[in-house]
A = this chain, B = another copy of it.
Amino acid sequence: MSNSKKILLKNNLRPTTQRIAIINYILQKHKVHITAAKLMTHLKNKNINISLATVYNNLNELADKGILKKFFVNNDKMWFDTNLQDHYHFYDSERDELIDIDKNEIAISKHPEIPSGKIKDSINIIINLKNKD
């Protein structure tokens, strides 16, 4: 049984052609930053039949299962990340690409009191890049 299939079964997801193709792509590289549209293009290039709705369904499902991390960059798009560690990103808008920044490279020294009844959930840090000139 393929590694992708095992991962799917372990997570109670039926190993369909589309899911296996997605998992294959995600596992192929160590760290992947991907959007639904980019993944769609990639799969079409590999001649895999899949609809955009299925790409979204599955990426969201994998995020729910904790296999991917989901986040947004500015208003643009929903991104999915195979790096599950707490970490942040550079965003190169010209190339539409993300670069990881390790959690331990940013120190949050202190911050205002959190409103009562609330606790910190996720922290989103994006350093937007622009061209030098």
Interface residues of A in 103-133 (CB under 8 A from B): 105-112, 114-115, 117-132
- A74 near B: Cβ within 8 Å? yes
A57 to B123, CA, bound (A): 31
Asked if A115 and B101 sit within 8 Å, CB to CB, the answer is no
Check: A25 CB closer than 8 A to any chain B CB: no
User: A56 at the A/B interface (Cβ < 8 Å)?
Assistant: no
Interface residues on A, range: 35 or more
Q: Does A100 contact B (CB under 8 A)?
A: yes
CB distance from A92 to the nearest CB of B (A): 7
Please pick, from B90, B109, B120, B126, the residue contacting A129 in the complex, using a CB distance under 8 A: B120
